[in-house]
Structure 1
Amino acid sequence: MAVDEAGRVRVVPSVYSLHPEDQTVEDMLQGWRNQQLSRNLQFATIDQRLRYVRRFSEYVNEFPWRWTPLLVEEYFGDLRSVRHLSHSTIRAHQAALRLFTSYISSPDYGWDLECERLFGQHPAQVFFDWNTATHVQEYEGGPSKRPFTHGELQRLFDHADTEVERIAKAGVRGWQAAYRDATMLKVAYSYGLRFNELRHLQLVDFARNPHAAEFGKYGVCKVRFGKARRASPPKPRAVLTVFRWTPDVIRDWLANGRGSRDTLDVFPSERGSLVTEPTLLRRLRRYCQALDFPAGLDLHSLRRSYATHLLEDGWDPLFVQAQMGHEHASTTGIYTFVSSDFRTSTLRQALNRTTREALEGRT
C-alpha cells in the first residue's frame, strides 16, 4: 500500500508488510502531508501538525482507526490539568488532530475501505465542537502579558550595555553575543518587530527615507519575513525609522560588534547561522530577573511597547497600524496598552475642555 501525491490510497498487491498497522499509520501521515503540501501550507506548519498527531497517538497508545472521543477528553484533560498548556496551544493541538481525522475518515482518500479490509475497523471523526475548544476571540494571550514602561525599557537597555562591558573587561568569551543580543533588543523595539522578522534582517534591508534625511541610510527597515496569512508566503512591509537613536545603535553594532563577516545577516550567531528565539529569550529573562521586573514581560513585549509608546507620544493611529503591519485597526488595538498616566492626562484634558465649554456657554 502507498499514497499518491494527493494523499489518496494506492494499493500495491505484491507488497506485504510484516507490521501493517505501523505501516498504515506512516502512510496516513505521508498522505496527509501531501494533502497539506497541495494546500501551499508552510513546511513548519505541516511538521508541527504531524508532531501533534504523533504525540496524541503515543499518549493514547491506539491506532487512529481505534480512536474514540473518550481518548480525546483524557488526553486534553491531562494537558490542561497536568501540563497547564495555554488556551491557544490546546486549540492548535485540537485543530491539527481534527484535520487529520477528517482526512483519514473521508471516503475521498480511501482509508476507510483500506482499514476495513486490513483491520476490520475504519477511522472516524472523534473531534467535535462539544469536546474541543473554540476560537471565540481574536486575542488569546495571557492577561499578564504587557509592554515595558519607558522606565523599564531604559533600565533594560542600560543593563544590557553594562553586561557587554562587564564581559569584555573580564576577558572571557561571550561579549560579542551579549552585544548582539543587546542590539537585537533595541532594534526589535525600534521597529516593533516580531522575533522572526528581527532574526532575518539583512544589510540590504535598510534604506534611506528621502523625507527623513537625518536618519541616513537607516531611514527605512524593509521587513521581508512578516507574519504570513494562512497558506501564503511571508508578508513584507516597510517600517519607517522614528527614533533618532536607532541609526547610531545599528551603525555601532555593524562597525564594532558584527565586524566583517561573509554573510548579509545583520545578527548572525556564533556559528554563522540565524539566532534562535530561545537564545535571545533566555538572555532577556535573565536580565528581567536581575532587574527584578514583574512577570508578564517577554520578547513580544518590545513590540507591544513600540505601539503603546508611539500612541502615547501622539502618533497617528493609522501610522502606527501601518508600521505594525496590521490590516485592521482592531488588531493594532490588541497590541496597545496605553499607560495610566497617558489615559489620566487625556481624560483630564477632555474634562477640562468640557468644563470650559460649559462655562463659556453659561456666560
Structure 2
Amino acid sequence: MSSGVGLPGAAHLMLADGVVHLDPETAVFEAMLEGWARQQRARFLDWDGTIKPRLALIRRFADFTNEYPWQWQPAEVDAFMNSLRDRRPTFAASTGRSYQNALRMFCCYVTDARYGWPVKCFESFGQAPVQILHEWNTIGHSSEYEGDSERRPLTYDEVQALFDAADGRVEDIRARRRKGALAAMRDAVLLKTVYAYGLRRQEAVRLDLHDLRRNPKAPSYGRFGAIFIRYGKSSKGGPPKRRTVFTVPEFDWVVELLDHYIEEIRPLASPGKHPALWITERLSRISMRRLDEAFETARTMAGLPEELNLHCLRHSYVTHLIEFDYPERFVQDQVGHEYASTTAIYSGVSDEYRNRLVQRSLKSRYSDLWGTSS
C-alpha cells in the first residue's frame, strides 16, 4: 500500500525531498513527532491535555532506550515500565496503561504504510519501525476502578470539619490583621460550592456570573436554582460537554452563601465587568491550582488524611445524593456522567445507609411481623 497523498503527518509532507541532513536520524525522529502531532490535531484532540503529554512521553521513552523508533524492540517496553515502578512504588496501573496506550498509538502511526514511515526508514537506515506493544506485554484492564483505594468520599463529619477549617482560616487572618482575608472568604465559599453541586475543578473555576440560573420549579432559590456548566469533561476530540446542575433541598444552604459572596464579598475585589464568578486579588480568574491549594490548606487545618483531594468532594456529593434517596439517573445527570457505572464507582455509601435499606426491605417483606415486634 502506498503512502497516503496529503494525509496529515505523512512522511513525504514532513521531510522535503533532496534535503541532506547533518543528523538524519534526529531529523527523521523529529519529523515523526511533528507528523504524529499533526495527525492528532486533525482529529481535533486537545494540544495541552492530550497531544503535548503524549509527545513528551515518546521523547522520554526514546531517551530511556537511547534508540530511535525504527530500532525499538518489545523488551525495551518491559525495561521502561520496570524502571518507572522501581522509582515510584505507588505507580498506578491506570497510569501505566495510559503510557502504554500512548506508545502503542505512536507505533501504530509510524508502522502504518499509509503514512510512509516504514519505507522512509528502511531506505534511510535499513530498518523499519515495528509495533512493540502487544497483549502479552501490556496491562490488562480487569477492573472498572484502578484509582487510589485510599481516596474516598468524605463523611458528613469530615465535610463539616473541612468547611469549619476554611471558615476558621478567615477568622485567623483577620485576628492577625494580615492580608488575604478576602481570598480566604472566597476560597471558603468556593469549596462549599464545589461540594454542593459536585463540580470538577475546571467546571468550578470557569463559572461566570451568567451561569447562575433560575429554576421555575424552585422559585424560592431565586437566581441560584441551578448552575449551567459550560466546561464539562469532554470526550476525546469533542468540545466541552454542557449540563445544568439543579440546587437540591439538602444543599440549599449554598444559596445564602452564594448570594452573600456575590453581593458582599466579590465587590470588595472591584471586579468591574469581569464575568468570572471567582476573582483573584489581581482581577483574574482563579486557577485550578489555586483551588487545589485552597482544599489542601483546609484539609491540613482540619487534620484530615493527606490522601483526600479536591475530587473527593465530588465523590462525597454523589454518595450523599444517593444516601438522600435520589434516583441513580438523577445523580448521573447532575454530575455529567455518560455511564451509570461511572457514577456507581464514585459512590461509597455508609453502613448506616445500607442498614436503613435492609430495614426498609424487612418492613416491606415482613410488615405484619415487623408491626407486632415494634
Q: 2:23 & 2:182 partners in 1: Cα distance?
A: 53
Name the SS of the counterpart of 2:244 in structure 1.
strand
Q: Does 1:75 find its partner at 2:77?
A: no
Q: Which residue of 1 aligns with 2:23?
A: 19
Q: 2:100 & 2:136 partners in 1: Cα distance?
A: 12
Q: Which residue of 2 aligns with 1:60?
A: 65
Percentage identity across paired residues of the two chains: 39
**Of 252, 258, 272, which residue of structure 2 is paired with 1:244?**
252
Q: Call closer, same or farther: CA 1:161–1:48 in 2, change over 3 Å.
A: same
**Of 4, 7, 10, which residue of structure 2 is paired with 1:8?**
10
Q: Which residue of 1 aligns with 2:299?
A: 288
Long gaps (5+) in structure 1: none
TM-score by length of 1: 0.92
Q: Alpha-carbon deviations, 1:303-351, whole Å to 9, x = none?
A: 1111111121222222212211223322221111111111122212323
Q: Which residue of 2 aligns with 1:349?
A: 360
Long gaps (5+) in structure 2: none
Q: Does 1:207 find its partner at 2:218?
A: no
Q: 2:283 & 2:143 partners in 1: Cα distance?
A: 40
Q: Which residue of 1 aligns with 2:194?
A: 188
Name the SS of the counterpart of 1:237 in structure 2.
strand
Q: 1:299 & 1:198 partners in 2: Cα distance?
A: 11
Q: 2:104 & 2:191 partners in 1: Cα distance?
A: 38
CA RMSD of aligned residues (A): 2.1
Equivalent pairs counted in the alignment come to: 359
Q: Which residue of 1 aligns with 2:350?
A: 339
Q: Call closer, same or farther: CA 1:149–1:19 in 2, change over 3 Å.
A: same
| Cα drift, residue 17 of structure 1 | 1.6
Q: Alpha-carbon deviations, 1:195-231, whole Å to 9, x = none?
A: 1111111111111111101111111100111111222
Name the SS of the counterpart of 1:236 in structure 2.
strand
Q: Which residue of 2 aligns with 1:131?
A: 137
| Cα drift, residue 184 of structure 1 | 1.7
Aligned partner of 1:279: which letter? Answer: R
Task: Pick which of 216-225 and 133-142 moved more.
Answer: 133-142
Contact 1:7 1:109 in 2 (8 A): yes
Q: 1:116 & 1:359 partners in 2: Cα distance?
A: 80
Q: Call closer, same or farther: CA 1:136–1:272 in 2, change over 3 Å.
A: farther
Q: Which residue of 1 aligns with 2:147?
A: 141
Contact 1:225 1:236 in 2 (8 A): yes
Contact 1:4 1:31 in 2 (8 A): no
Q: 2:343 & 2:318 partners in 1: Cα distance?
A: 8
| Cα drift, residue 272 of structure 1 | 4.2
Q: Which residue of 1 aligns with 2:51?
A: 46
**Of 165, 172, 192, which residue of structure 2 is paired with 1:166?**
172
TM-score by length of 2: 0.89
